[in-house]
Structure 1
Amino acid sequence: MSPLADRGPHRVTVVTGVDRSVVTVTGDMDLDHVDALNSALLGACADPGAPQRVVVDLTRLAFCDSAGLNALLRARALCESNGRSLILVGPGPQFMRLLSITGADLLFNLGVPGPGDAGDGTARATP
């Protein structure tokens, strides 16, 4: 484990609503913390009966390295192969720079959190 691995809470939560699964990432998403993200995204993108829309809430993401980006790229492909959509909401400057440098900004649907897109238990169908 790297010396930076203990810099704060690192958590991945999933809230499943009627029309979307919201995966919220808190803290750093790096090699030391990516397993929880991979697991959450696998369920949201591939579980039978899961909603067709997967929202990844990045508003609480402090840092992301290539391991976190690769998890999101795999999730994008998995969602696509299962007829689901993946949207990243609330990305910060560091993550946007990572996307831009790698060219991945052209691959993802990016947005701002809307009603039900916060991973705080408020996920609900939008009228």
Structure 2
Amino acid sequence: MELVMATLAGILFMTGVYNLLQKQLLRIVIGTALISHGAHLFILTMGELKRGAPPILTDGIEQYTDPLPQALILTSIVISFGVTSLLLVLAYRAAKINGTDNMEQLRGNDYE
């Protein structure tokens, strides 16, 4: 299962970097979101995907799941949501003011 999750995280990183290298602002924002989702899967995979009882101390249970990876992922999801919403607002504002979402035109380069 870890191999499947690591492969999926790698695919998300790969498509995210590909989208970051595009010229449209919306694709850049989508690329950052894909990279953050890949990081979430990577954190979950590195926390070992093991099954067990919830981390509540009771008699007779010897194997518990680790709540730390889930807590880190929840924090990461909230942060990535905030960053994505900020990037979307900035991209919308830049496209509305300048009339384009092409990065070459926003930099002032002559692009046809």
Q: Same fold (TM over 0.5)?
A: no
| TM-score, normalised via structure 2 length | 0.29
Q: Which has the larger share of strand?
A: 1
Q: Which has the larger share of helix?
A: 2
The structure with more radius of gyration? 2
